[in-house]
Amino acid sequence: MRTFIDFISDVRNQNNPKYQAMPLDGTVHQLTSDTLNYMKRLMNYQPSVESILNLIGDGNWNTPDAGASQPRRPRSGRNTALQNYFADVLEALVQNIEAKSKFYKKGQVLTQIFLLNNYFYISKSVRTTPGLLEVINGPDANANANAPLNSLPSAVYERPLKQNVDLYQDNWKTCVEHLMDVTYVQDGGVQQVLNSNQRQMVKDKFKNFNHDFDELWKTQKQYSIPDVELRAMVLKDVHQILIPMYDKFLAKYVSSTGSGGPGGGTTMEFTKNAQKYIRYDGSMIKDMANQFFTNT
């Protein structure tokens, strides 16, 4: 087994030739999987590892030229040597992964997907490895189970995971905005017939939605989120907000018996040629969203 000093040095080294290759689809980096596998193995020998780390001394596993680029979390006198060691390993891993994410220069979405895959892999590996989360969060881990995210050592990877989920959701804002509609009122009642300007506005909304959704679909279906749980988390807003909004918008302007496609109830005609503007029905949007991050 590699020495503790060599291991953390390899994790911190951003120029390590072993870890220069980058996944083109944004999936988990080998550095992340190797690091978590090593931590899992250490858990199998916890008493012996604790003894060795105590002999090395807190922080002495960091090489003199490998100081972290950010201030380290203050040590508690009740922390075990293994907890402090894992804290330094995770801090080094996060800094290296953040640096590697700069490789993706073509767009921010792939950067977000790469970071999401890696942070979620860390989080899930820690959660599913018996005892590992308790070691990372220390002797008060159980008592602090409901503590704010930022107050726990595990925040080093949980916080950026949440931040990147939120950042990814922002990519859908323009699509959602195209579906935001208004109710036209005339003589104290709901207007049933659109004027020419209003019809053009609806046409533009469908046109712009189609364009933006197509662009997102063409690029993001090439990226990869292998974990089903993470993929569902990332696409949550698409399924819970975008698709229902699209169904409602479609139903308002397209009759189920008309030339445009699905819908229902009272509709407001905005064109004689709905098929020119209605590219998708709700089920098609859902099916296409389910192809995101499958690298197809």
| pLDDT tens for the chain, residues 1 to 296 | 468 999 999 999 999 999 999 999 999 999 999 999 999 999 999 999 999 999 999 889 987 654 444 445 555 556 899 999 999 999 999 999 999 999 997 668 999 999 999 999 999 999 999 999 999 998 665 555 566 556 689 999 999 999 999 999 999 999 999 999 876 655 555 667 888 998 999 999 999 999 999 999 998 888 999 999 999 999 998 999 999 999 999 988 886 534 344 444 457 889 888 889 999 998 999 999 888 998 76
C-alpha span between 60 and 161 (Å, rounded):
29
Domain's final residue, options 112, 140, 169? 169
DSSP 198: H
Whether 296 is in a domain gets the answer: no
pTM of the model: 0.86
Identify the CATH number of the domain in which residue 93 sits.
1.10.357
Q: Are residues 10 and 31 in the same domain?
A: yes
Q: Are residues 20 and 142 in the same domain?
A: yes
Domain's final residue, options 141, 169, 197? 169
Q: Are residues 193 and 218 in the same domain?
A: yes
Give 143: exposed, middle or buried? Use CB within 10 Å, 0-12, 13-18, 19+.
exposed
Q: Are residues 31 and 142 in the same domain?
A: yes
For residue 134, the number of C-alpha atoms closer than 13 Å in the C-beta half-sphere is 8
Whether 75 is in a domain gets the answer: yes
C-alpha span between 57 and 85 (Å, rounded):
10
Angle at CA 75, nearest 5°, toward 72 and 78? Answer: 160
Q: Are residues 220 and 251 in the same domain?
A: yes
What is the tally of structural domains in the chain? 2
Whether 160 is in a domain gets the answer: yes
DSSP 185: E
Contact by Cβ (8 Å): 278, 206: yes
Give the residue numbers spanning the domain of 207: 179-289
